[in-house]
Amino acid sequence: MDGREQTTGSAADFDFLIGDWTIRNLRLKQRFAGCDDWDEFPATSRVRKLLQDTANLEEMDIPAKGFAGITLRLFNPRDGSWSLHWADSRSNRLFAPVIGRFDQDEGLFYGDDTDEGRPVRVRFLWEPCQHTPCWEQAFSRDGGETWETNWMMRFTRV
């Protein structure tokens, strides 16, 4: 931000996700191979607020794939952005965050990652809804010129 932009965003941006969920996961079987074959599997999650309601923690259980994960989401009141931090029981490490914000009916978050040892840009898209939120992950190998969606989650409130 250069000081002229208006700060948007709220610590309540992720309130739609607070609670217990079942999740329908669709994950692309092969990335960057022109594949359109998706692996479908269930998960459950629980999301709760933390840090005087300026953060939330999601605990996700994915027994069909043999792992669990957590996402810590932190709101920055200075610029209205969120940083989303992921860790799972397969790697037992905290991955670099994706950072972004909500604008009207969607949240866009970007970061850097690797895919099979190659650097990629990663994009998370959140479509908030009180009863059926949607999340998508996409990778880009060309710095964000083109994107391939490789994981989708459809949440249903328990």
* 105-114 tens-digit pLDDT: 899 999 999 9
CA separation for the pair 73, 45 (Å, rounded):
14
CA separation for the pair 116, 119 (Å, rounded):
9
Hunting for tokens 């191979």 — which residue is that?
33
Indicate if the pLDDT at residue 127 is higher than 90.
yes
For the segment 101-128, the average pLDDT, to the nearest whole number, is 95
Alpha carbon separation from 145 to 20, 58, 110 (Å, rounded): 36, 31, 13
**How is residue 4 written in tokens?**
């002229």
Predicted TM-score (pTM) of the model is: 0.92
Burial environment of residue 60 by CB neighbours within 10 A (0 to 12, 13 to 18, 19 or more): buried
Indicate if the pLDDT at residue 141 is higher than 70.
yes
Give the chain's mean pLDDT. 94
